[in-house]
Amino acid sequence: MDIHITNLLKKYHDKAVVDIDHTQFKSGFIYGITGDNGAGKTTLLKIIAGLERYDAGEILYSGVPLEQGMMKKITYLSQTPYLMRTSVYENIVYPLKIRNIDPMTIEKKAKDIMDELQITELKNQLATQLSGGESQKVALARALVFDPEVLLLDEPTASIDPATIDTIEEAITKRNKQQKMTVIMISHNMDQVKRMCHEIVCMKKGKKISIKE
């Protein structure tokens, strides 16, 4: 799914928070978004995910505006993820359950992703009682488990310990390679962005200021 943005404008109290003339995210690539605190990165990502209204401009997904069916294929992982008041396992299988996938497959997929992100021991813990990094990992597992076409990540490794960062980066790049998953991730870690991304969008005060390869 290609994403084209034209003349996008989003204001808060008359302050333009996102103001992008044109940019595009091509299917099957990994994009990094960097920029100062308050540059508008989170706002942009939420708009792309269809979670935030905007004041002007146009976003086309494979040539058409966002519609219900497409939203099912896009997922967004927040900077402060919300986990449901159930077990870690129930959180992770939720997107599969609502897709009516058969129980056997659900169990297998959940097991695989938990093993991959090394959170199997947390399986039965209440998701609202996790540590900062644990929450981030569980939310990521929940986002990856249903193989979305477009993955929007907001600082996914901000609170992750160094050993696990590699695991997570690997999990993401693997899916990009194997399933052509499109990834747009915000990160303040320039090394990480350079390691992972095909293209980098840098934002400053709402505007896109440069693209580095």
Partner 1 sequence: MDLLKEGLKEALLLLIRFDKEVYSIIGLSIGLSFTSTIFSAIIGIPLGLYLGVKPFKLKKTFTRTIYTMMSLPPVVIGLLVAIFLSRSGPLGTLGLLFTPTAMVIAQMILITPIILGITYNDAKQYGPSISQIGITLGASKFQTLKLLITEMRITLLIALVTGFGRAISEVGAVMIVGGNIKGHTRVMTTYIAMNNSMGNYAMAISMGIVLLLISFIVNSVLYRYVAGE
For ligand ATP, the closer of residues 41 and 142 by Cβ is 41
For ligand ATP, the closer of residues 84 and 98 by Cβ is 84
Cβ contacts of 64 within 8 Å, gap of 6 or more: none
d(CA 173, CA 42): 21
From residue 92 to residue 131, what is the string marking binding to its own copies with x (rule CB under 8 A)?
------------------------------x------xxx
Burial letters for 154-185: b for 16+ Cβ neighbours within 10 Å, e otherwise? bbbbeebeeebeeebbebbbebbeeeebbbbb
CB under 8 A: which stretch of 54-62, 63-71, 160-168, 176-184 binds its own copies?
160-168
Count of residues in contact with ligand ATP, rule CB under 6 A? 20
What region, left, alpha or beta, does residue 129 occupy, with left being phi > 0 and alpha being psi -120 to 50 degrees? Answer: alpha
* Residue 80 DSSP SS3: coil
For its own copies, the closer of residues 13 and 104 by Cβ is 13
Burial letters for 39-70: b for 16+ Cβ neighbours within 10 Å, e otherwise? bbbbbbbbbbbbeeebeebebebeeeebeeeb
For Mg ion, the closer of residues 40 and 148 by Cβ is 40
Interaction residues for Mg ion, span 175-194 (CB under 5 A) = none
143 binds partner 1 (CB under 8 A): yes
Interaction residues for ligand ATP, span 165-204 (CB under 6 A) = none
Element (H, E) at 32: strand 30-35
d(CA 142, CA 136): 10
User: Is the dihedral angle over the CA atoms 180, 50, 82, 93 positive or is it negative?
Assistant: negative
CB under 8 A: which stretch of 19-27, 64-72, 141-149, 154-162 binds its own copies?
154-162
CB under 8 A: which stretch of 12-20, 26-34, 93-101, 177-185 binds partner 1?
93-101
Q: What 8-state DSSP symbol labels residue 28?
A: T
Q: Which parts of this chain interact with ligand ATP (CB under 6 A)?
A: 12-13, 17, 35, 37-43, 79, 125, 129-134, 159
Q: Which parts of this chain interact with Mg ion (CB under 5 A)?
A: 42, 79, 131-132
Q: Which parts of this chain interact with its own copies (CB under 8 A)?
A: 12, 34-39, 42, 79-80, 122, 129-134, 137, 155, 158-164, 188, 190
